[in-house]
Structure 1
Amino acid sequence: MDIDGLGDRFVDALVEFDMVHTPADLYGLTVESFVRMKALADERDGSTPETVKQGKVATKWAENLVASIEASKKSTLPRFLFALGIMHIGESTAKTLATWLGSLAVVRRTPAPVLRVLPDIGDEVATSIAAFFEQEGNEKVVDALLAAGITFADEGAPSPKLRDRLGLDVLLDAAKVPKLGPKSTALLAKTYASVQELVSAGEHNWIIAGVPSAAAANLWAYISDPTNYRKLVNDYADMAWLLDQLPAASATALPLEGHTYVITGTMETLKRDDATERLESLGAKVAGSVSKKTTAVFAGEAAGSKLDKAKELGVPVHTEADLLALLAEHGAAP
């Protein structure tokens, strides 16, 4: 949870002394808890300071840790998702989930076939995310963190652009039924409004609609398996619920949507992470490398190879003052 001062040494000790079992347990620790943890660790290592033996116990460090833990309750959705330690989920993927799905409640409910339609999320990553939130133990940890007071300042509605990406064909494509290609799944999605309608129509009517007989036979065999059918129905229900959460299609696009920026060098006013978050809040993508598709590079002091690459490719190079002006223009200045 990005807690200042809480390093691996302290975490290991808290776990070893049975004081922490899940991340949520951190939010129940007190100054006394940390003082006791350090005393146990010093006793174990034979390194108890003479001052402590004399009854003089410093607590300022523990007070600072408790304050840092309290401050970490105010988080952002990407930071929280990344901190959960979901396999294959880096900072970039966490930002994608937050940008497209909007809230933790939606992320938790979105099935793997739907996650696959998000940018840069393939089968393996989608399966990993969905599997994480399907595990009861993980769900309890997330619920406990929320109960401890974790909040997100950046939650909102899912992206209305999902409306054009979601349909029955998404679920059928994810099923990977032999010989059932994207043209056939698109045809079925256009012909039938739900899983129930699809199944009620049956194999014969699918063929009449234009699906090859071999593909229709394979799809019928797939759906005839109770486990597959139940998953298809459940995933469709979750997808329909997600579509209901979308704002009106006329929602205004973010001002920097479609723009890609690179930040390099040291900025005097803004830390790079802060600048990145502000640009992303306006719809921009902040990349780690320069390419011909880069809109511009913002270069601070001691800018290195990225600045050279921008000049080589003819990508516009701007200053920190230009960055601040751009943010101010769109109401995102620090």
Structure 2
Amino acid sequence: MDIALLGEVMVGKLLEAGLLHSYADIYRLEQRRDEVRCLVIEQQRKTDGGAKTVRVEFGEKRTATLLKGIEESKSRPLSRVLTALGIRHVGANTAELLAEHFGTMDAIAAATEESLQEVAGIGPEVAASVVKWFASEAGRKTIAELKAVGVNMTQPKRRRAAGELPLAGKTVVVTGTLANYDRKQIEQRIKDLGGKVSSSVSKNTDFVLAGEAPGSKLDKAQALGVKVLSEADFEALIRS
């Protein structure tokens, strides 16, 4: 949700202090303001002998900034909330597709795998993951608690045409081993986002997605001047 001062380290401190047990507890921290203020954090300070790590209280000023950011995050669009839930296969781009198509969290929660796949860019694997999460007790509880603390659950609908998908009209060749996808998953992901997967590199290839140990396809792409993307480059492209 991009809340100021609520990074990984701070979340860890809040968990250690017993102040967080669920997503919704973030929005209850105002009620425990004094405990947040008294949390001890580590800071780097310059001294004559170089940088030194010191332990200080989180303090009132930081607490005020944190709580203000938390309050402001309640009004973020539905897509940002979906992304923050950590649903498998639902990153920022997929969350945007779902939010724009369905418009409300309740509509997404009620969607079937078939209706989810009617959204351009959503394939069977993503659809199954979304249905499974919203059908789980933990998923239902999380949404109910976030609603209760006032987190926004809506976003204006906007149906994307197939041509608006990030890989629309692109021919992609995949080579090597990827960290976050097996071959079937990445090929489905490319298709879901409007692209076409090819097994061989040619002058008509738009780009090659290269993982570890890419082999001869990478050599051919470089010889033909075809653009080569790493897995990180690919993720950045589909989020743009």
TM-score range, shorter chain: 0.5 to 0.7
Within 2, Cα distance between the matches of 1:94 and 1:101? 11
User: Is 1:24 aligned with 2:24?
Assistant: yes
User: Is 1:34 aligned with 2:45?
Assistant: no
Partner of 1:106: 107
| Alpha-carbon offset, residue 47 of structure 1 | 4.7
- CA distances 1:147-166 after superposition (whole Å, capped 9, x unpaired): 1111256245x85xxxxxxx
Within 1, Cα distance between the matches of 2:71 and 2:136? 27
Q: Give the fraction of aligned pairs with identical amino acids, expressed as a percent.
A: 30
Q: Contact between 1:74 and 1:150, CA under 8 Å: does it hold in 2?
A: yes
User: Is 1:96 aligned with 2:97?
Assistant: yes
CA 1:131–1:257 in 2, change beyond 3 Å: closer, same or farther? closer
Within 2, Cα distance between the matches of 1:10 and 1:16? 10
User: Is 1:5 aligned with 2:5?
Assistant: yes
CA 1:129–1:6 in 2, change beyond 3 Å: closer, same or farther? same
| Number of corresponding residues | 161
Partner of 2:64: 63
User: Given the two structures, how large is their TM-score scaled by the length of structure 1?
Assistant: 0.42
CA 1:82–1:260 in 2, change beyond 3 Å: closer, same or farther? closer
Highest Rg: 1 or 2?
1
Within 1, Cα distance between the matches of 2:120 and 2:162? 14
Within a 5 Å distance, the mapping from 1:1-334 to structure 2 comes to 1-30=1-30, 31-36=33-38, 38-39=39-40, 47-49=54-56, 58-152=59-153, 154-156=155-157
Partner of 2:180: none
Within 2, Cα distance between the matches of 1:132 and 1:48? 40
Partner of 1:314: none
- The CA RMSD over aligned residues, in Å, is 3.3
Within 2, Cα distance between the matches of 1:77 and 1:111? 19
Within 2, Cα distance between the matches of 1:94 and 1:103? 12
User: Given the two structures, how large is their TM-score scaled by the length of structure 2?
Assistant: 0.58
Task: Flag as ranges the 4+ runs of structure 1 deviating above 3 A.
Answer: 46-49, 256-261
Q: Match for 1:122: what amino acid? A: G
Q: Contact between 1:74 and 1:153, CA under 8 Å: does it hold in 2?
A: no
| Structure number with higher relative contact order (C-alpha < 8 Å, ≥ 6 residues apart) | 2
CA 1:260–1:140 in 2, change beyond 3 Å: closer, same or farther? closer
